[in-house]
């Protein structure tokens, strides 16, 4: 899947990271917590069929619904969560300076970014983003950083 980079431009998050570095040089534990927050967002996106920003995913086309019915998968819903193949294969790796959330499912990118797919690239797949950070996730990240600072400050 092509990389998606989320760079923190939030002054408070940046300030808390800097403050955290006063107590520890190992940020991997907090990066793991952030990885869990992002994985939870991915799960929420699949469950609610919405982007991290809350925008509803494009509905399936009637031809796709008919194809699913013929294949024995039922009708319209869920849009992407089919047997958990895509939605259930996200992981994260926590590093000192970042967390990487990824999947090994090759068709994830076409659903995240949209584009042409299928035989001869005749099918147009709409954008249905599931990977990202919502506003409320930033609040949870701030809380995670603050709690880690408190824990380390107590010694």
Q: Write the pLDDT tens digit of every residue in 19-54.
A: 999 999 899 999 999 999 999 999 999 999 999 999
Residues with Cβ within 8 Å of 152's Cβ and at least 6 positions away in sequence, in order, are 20, 23, 24
CB 103 within 8 A of CB 86: yes
Q: What is the pLDDT of residue 26?
A: 92
* H-helix or E-strand spanning residue 94: strand 90-94
Q: Which tens digit of pLDDT belongs to each residue from 72-126?
A: 877 767 888 755 678 778 899 999 989 999 888 888 999 999 999 989 999 999 9
- Greater confidence (67 vs 126) lies with 126
Query: 31 lies in which domain range?
Result: 25-154
80 within some domain: yes
Task: Kindly state whether residue 9 falls inside one of the protein's structural domains.
Answer: no
Cis peptide before 9 (omega within 30 of 0): no
Note whether residue 52 is domain-resident.
yes
- Report if residue 8 sits inside a domain: no
Q: How many domains does the chain have?
A: 1
Q: Tell me the whole-structure pTM to 2 decimals.
A: 0.86
């Amino acid at each position: 899947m092509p990389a998606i980079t989320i760079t923190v431009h939030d002054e408070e998050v940046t300030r808390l990271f800097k403050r955290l570095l006063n107590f520890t040089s190992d940020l991997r534990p907090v990066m793991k917590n952030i990885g869990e927050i992002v994985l939870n967002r991915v799960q929420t996106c699949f469950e609610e069929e919405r982007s991290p920003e809350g925008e509803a995913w494009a509905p399936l086309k009637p031809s796709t619904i008919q194809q699913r019915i013929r294949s024995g998968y039922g009708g319209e819903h869920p849009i992407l969560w089919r047997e958990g193949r895509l939605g259930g294969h996200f992981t994260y790796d926590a590093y000192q300076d970042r967390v990487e959330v990824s999947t090994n499912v090759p068709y994830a990118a076409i659903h995240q970014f949209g584009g042409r797919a299928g035989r001869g690239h005749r099918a147009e797949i709409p954008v249905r983003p599931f990977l990202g950070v919502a506003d409320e996730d930033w609040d949870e990240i701030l809380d995670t950083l603050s709690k880690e600072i408190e824990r380390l400050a107590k010694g």
